[in-house]
Amino acid sequence: MNYLNLWEATVIDILIGKYRNIVVSIALFLLLDASVLMLNFYISFEIADDAAGVNLAGRQRMLSQRMVKSTFDLDYALKQSLDPAPPREELRTTILLFDSTLNAFESGGNATAADGTPIYLEAASTPAAKTAIADANAIWGPYKQRLLNVVDADHTEMAPALAQAILYARDNNLTLLKLMNDLTIELESVASSKATRLRWIQTVGITLAVINFFIILFHFLRQLKESDRKVEQARQETVEILETVNEGLFLLDKEYVISSQYSRALEQMFARENLGGTSLQALLGDLISDKNLSTAKRFIALLFRDDIKSALIGDLNPLKQVEVNISSEQGKFVTKYFCFTFERAYDEGEIANILVTVLDITDRVVLERELALTREQNERQIEVLTSILHSDPRALESFVQQVFEAVERINRILREPSRSSVALQKKATDIFIEVHRIKGESSALGLESFEDMTHEFESVIHTIKEKPEPAGDDFLPLVVRLEKLYKHAESVQAMTVKLGQFSGKRLDKTDGAQPHLGWAELNALCSRIAERQGKKVGLVLQGALPVGLADAHDQLVRDFVLQTLRNAVSHGIERPEQRVPLGKPEAGRVQLSVTQNSASALEISVYDDGAGIDFEALKQKAVATGRFSKAQLDTWSEQKLSALLFEPGVTTSEHGLDAGGGVGLSMVREHVKTQGASVSIRSQKGKGTRFRLRLPVVESASAATVEEALGEALC
């Protein structure tokens, strides 16, 4: 049905559309040719008939003379007494032939042709012919009678009949011959005029046909020229569009072949030429991963399927934002971001091609990234500002100094040549200790930005440490982190200075002294850690942290206090839901006691009423380091086992923001060894753990003041 409609529409289109003139001209041409052909045919037949008539009329002339000749032959035979039969028979045949032919000329009918076959003659129609025939008949009637009397007579009567016939023939023969001659001439002239008419018809027909042909040719050429012009115009427009658009435009067929026409921008974007006829693979093969390319091809294949709604699969376009590295004219690679969109192109209702549009969205992506970065920086600055406003400026300044120094030390560690994997492992551990210390300090000061940064830093080192065979290259990412840390410290320092100027405070140039750690700072540290882990903790400070210690001792005390407090909150204290069933109060208690036993000995202990050390877990961890055997550890007392906590790499917790992954306490031990101090642990399962540090006091220039303070708070 549809096809029929389509066909009808096409026919109507042709009849009334731009082809109408050509169709009409061709129809006329055919009609004219057919008419000329038919006339030609008709007249040719008439001419053929006329030719037969002319022949027969000519034969009548001859027959009239043969009759005379036969009568004379017969007369001669009679006189010479020869056999009269042959001339008599010839005369009879001639009479009959002449008579029948004359009758046929007069009223139409069959005559006998020269070869004896019958031939139909039309009755002569022109007046001259009719007159000639009538006159001939008038002579022929008596003549025929006389001649028949001769041929029908018996031997005795023949001579007188013959004499009469010869007498009549002598008077009329010439007239009859002339009349037959007139008839012949008349018929010839009729035939000749018909031939002339035929020539005219042919000439006119052919002339008209030629004119018609030229009209068609003219129309056809004009139309061809017109449509050529339109095609050329359309092509020109397409070319212009493709030359000027900023997007990469091309068509893809089912075989992922790129169309011969595509936008110039495409060549510029991809820094390639002659893309027409090449495949999508050739365009993208070395710019995106094989997997991505194959996903894109699968996506395009979906677009060729008409049972899938193209509007409903846009989200699956894998080339919505693609990062590509394009080689520039200078031979360098430039990173760009392209956005590909795909549209179906239909041809007669079928999906023929996919129109691909490629947009360079580099600017947009870069801007988005910059915005995100700026936002992140702003957030960080606000956070830093908040922490600065909440901190003692001196403490902050001192912390920043510490960071600078640590960065310097880490740099030194990084530069040290180390070839063996053991040396590299040690390098990683040394860096970890430095970073971990900054993390501890930043945590104590509530500088979350530093805490996050150092935590990420630690994670990177952690992955290096995990490797059985670390390589020198593994340390490269640390350089970037280190620089980031340094820059951040610089910006904090700058901000501190600015704030100092703003608030009118002038920061005294610090002499490198560590920031003061009082109950408020330590309590804040405990609360933050507890909050992160869903715990409740109260810190009790008995005595005061000593001030004026020698630098080395001061560092040891700080490291010990920070590490053991963190340890107590994150590993010791249980969550409320664990504590309550054990009959313990919801909030854990952490007690930091500072006592000066004598003028020269200082004792600092950190106690928590938490779960105590899980010695089984500790043993497993120790065995996992490979430095101890299970059998060996089974013989150890709990006292001895607890010393394992000071071994590098031994921890009962995984690496997290509040734990050092087994480095924090080992860092303390290193210092203890060099400072002539001692450290001990006592732990009771389910009851709690106490870390104790004893150290000989070597006072610095300023006198030691012991600030008595007692505080307890719930956090």
Partner 1 sequence: MLDVMIVDDSNIIRRKIERSADRQFFNIVALARNGLEAVDLFQAHRPQVVTMDLTMPEMDGIECVERLVKIDPAVRILVISALSDVETGILALERGARGFLCKPFDDEQLNGALTELVEGLHD
Tokens 């193209």 found at:
310
Distance CA 317, CA 182 (A): 103
CB of 319 to partner 1, least distance (A): 10
466's CB contacts (< 8 A; 6+ apart) are none
Handedness of CA 143, 145, 150, 156 (dihedral sign): negative
Contact 390, 366 (CB under 8 A): no
Return the number of the residue (301 or 382) whose C-beta is nearest partner 1: 301
Contact 151, 92 (CB under 8 A): yes
CB of 304 to partner 1, least distance (A): 12
Return the number of the residue (349 or 581) whose C-beta is nearest partner 1: 349
Return the number of the residue (299 or 607) whose C-beta is nearest partner 1: 299
- The encoded tokens of residue 532 equal 């992160």
CB of 322 to partner 1, least distance (A): 13
Distance CA 620, CA 630 (A): 8
Return the number of the residue (198 or 302) whose C-beta is nearest partner 1: 302
Contact 604, 478 (CB under 8 A): no
Interaction between residue 315 and partner 1 (CB under 8 A)? yes
Restricted to residues 255-314, the positions that interact with partner 1 (CB under 8 A) are 295, 298-299, 301-302, 307-309, 311-313
Applying CB under 8 A, among 14, 34, 82, 316 the residue interacting with partner 1 is 316
Here's the x/- map for partner 1, 109-148, by CB under 8 A: it reads as: ----------------------------------------
Handedness of CA 538, 544, 547, 551 (dihedral sign): negative
Number of residues in contact with partner 1 under rule CB under 8 A: 14
Contact 15, 23 (CB under 8 A): yes
Return the number of the residue (148 or 302) whose C-beta is nearest partner 1: 302
Return the number of the residue (316 or 710) whose C-beta is nearest partner 1: 316
Interaction between residue 1 and partner 1 (CB under 8 A)? no
Distance CA 711, CA 519 (A): 7
Return the number of the residue (34 or 316) whose C-beta is nearest partner 1: 316
The four Cα atoms 265, 266, 272, 274 give a dihedral, to 10 degrees, of -100
* Residues present in the chain in total: 715
Restricted to residues 317-376, the positions that interact with partner 1 (CB under 8 A) are 318
CA 49 to each of CA 57, 124, 508: distance values in angstroms, whole numbers, following the listed order: 12, 12, 143
Distance CA 568, CA 582 (A): 18
CB of 341 to partner 1, least distance (A): 15
- The encoded tokens of residue 131 equal 């007159």
CB of 257 to partner 1, least distance (A): 21
Interaction between residue 415 and partner 1 (CB under 8 A)? no
Residues facing residue 118 across a β-bridge: 112
CB of 4 to partner 1, least distance (A): 23
CB of 314 to partner 1, least distance (A): 8
Question: What Rg do the C-alpha atoms of the chain give, in angstroms?
Answer: 65
CB of 291 to partner 1, least distance (A): 8
CB of 676 to partner 1, least distance (A): 58
Query: Which 8-state DSSP code applies to residue 643?
Result: G
Return the number of the residue (339 or 435) whose C-beta is nearest partner 1: 339
Return the number of the residue (52 or 313) whose C-beta is nearest partner 1: 313
Q: Residues interacting with partner 1, by CB under 8 A?
A: 295, 298-299, 301-302, 307-309, 311-313, 315-316, 318
